Amino acid sequence: DAGVIQSPRHEVTEMGQEVTLRCKPISGHNSLFWYRQTMMRGLELLIYFNNNVPIDDSGMPEDRFSAKMPNASFSTLKIQPSEPRDSAVYFCASSISGASGETQYFGPGTRLLVL
């Protein structure tokens, strides 16, 4: 299996532009997670889906952030409009949901720089 696939790997954009990050989970996994990593705050959960349904989006910073999972093999995280403080590495992870948590497999991350 190719593992979790994220695109793009790097993104540089200007403040105010729309940014879309993409994730393809491991085939057969039914839970998907979006995380953000910054020097100041470390790793934070933004949102997670179970069977394509958003379960917990309490970590989404504000209305500028939105995430969708239209099917079991694809998810997007959109930032509109982007701001310099959104600069971070965004990780997607997937797992097979079960009792009391399962091992999560992380994608390589998207390094976002907003100028």
Partner 1 sequence: KNEVEQSPQNLTAQEGEFITINCSYSVGISALHWLQQHPGGGIVSLFMLSSGKKKHGRLIATINIQEKHSSLHITASHPRDSAVYICAVIRGAQKLVFGQGTRLTINP
| Least distance (Å) between residue 85 CB and partner 1 | 19
Nearest Cα to 15, choosing from 77, 80, 78, 60? 80
Count of positions (residues) in the chain: 115
Residue whose CB is less far from partner 1, 28 or 42: 42
**Are the C-beta atoms of 109 and 93 separated by less than 8 Å?**
no
| Least distance (Å) between residue 55 CB and partner 1 | 8
Q: Residue 91 corresponds to which amino acid?
A: F
Give the residues lining the site for partner 1 (CB under 8 A). 31, 33, 35, 42-45, 48, 50, 55-56, 89, 91, 93, 95, 97, 100-106, 108-109, 111
